Amino acid sequence: MQLNALRKTGLGCVILLLLTACDVVGLDSSGKPIIPADPSAGPDYSSQTPAQIAQAFWVPKILPAAHVNALDWAALKQAQGQLKGTDGKSVYTKFSGKVTAVDTDGLERKLQLSVNGEPLTLQLGPIIKGNAVRDAAGFIRFEDFKNQVQFAQVAKALNKQALSGLPALDAGWIGQPVDVLAAVTLRADGIDDAVALEMTRGTTQ
């Protein structure tokens, strides 16, 4: 009898320890367990469209990052001078320039600027080349997305989001000073894939 009592007591202790070591998982309305999110897991964008992801990033993340990390023109040229061969680096930059030409025809419209005496082309779309807006951010990682296709689609959606905030540009801007916040891809032999995030008429140039 005493042995049976001890066995029951021991079994009860084991059950108690097992219960206290387990987390209680709640059930949803259909009776299925609600599995807590893995705190080490990255963001889940599987249920969002590229446009929704771009909109969610834009005001709270992209624009603040661009303003904080934007290189001025001198720092931009210095960073470019450190590149060699086919190396490329996407960055945000803030500068003042003067509009020298506006091309509003076709699908690859362009705004030509003179910045400190150097030519720079800003893409006006609707076709935009490159991933400068996405890659300059630094926090948008390939591993957070389903595949390469979704990662590329987000880059295109961010380019489109950037264009949506720009003023209407026409020949009336030629000769005008402008202040620009942009994303560009630096290469040893030039500045490519430039996209303006913000643009306003300047006062002096």
What pLDDT digit, counting tens, does each position of 36-93 carry? 444 444 566 777 899 999 999 999 999 999 999 999 999 999 999 999 988 999 999 9
* Residue 109 is assigned to a structural domain of this protein: yes
| Secondary structure class of 188 (helix, strand, coil) | coil
Query: In a 10 Å sphere around its CB, with 0-12 CB exposed, 13-18 middle and 19+ buried, how is residue 14 labelled?
Result: exposed
* Peptide bond connecting 119 to the previous residue in cis, omega within 30 degrees of 0: no
What's the domain count of the chain? 1
Above 90 in pLDDT, residue 153?
Answer: yes
Structure tokens at 84: 């060699």
- CA quadruple 153, 154, 155, 156: dihedral positive or negative? positive
In a domain, 3, yes or no: no
pTM higher than the cut 0.85: no
Domain span at residue 72?
60-201
Question: What is the distance between the alpha carbons of residues 121 and 170, in angstroms, rounded to a whole number?
Answer: 15
**Rounded-to-integer distance, Cα 134 and Cα 154, Å:** 8
Which DSSP state fits 174?
T
Find the distance separating the first CA and the last CA of the chain, reported in whole Å: 100
In a domain, 190, yes or no: yes
Percent of the chain scoring above 70 in pLDDT:
77
Is residue 54 in a domain?
no
Q: With respect to residue 146, please indicate whether it lies within any of the assigned structural domains.
A: yes
**Does residue 170 have a pLDDT over 80?**
yes
Residue 41 in any domain: the answer is no
Half-sphere exposure of 187 (CA within 13 A, CB side): 11
CATH of the domain at 175: 2.40.50
65: in domain: yes
Euclidean distance between CA atoms 63 and 60, whole angstroms: 7
Neighbours of 6 (CB within 10 A): 10
Residue 14 in domain: no
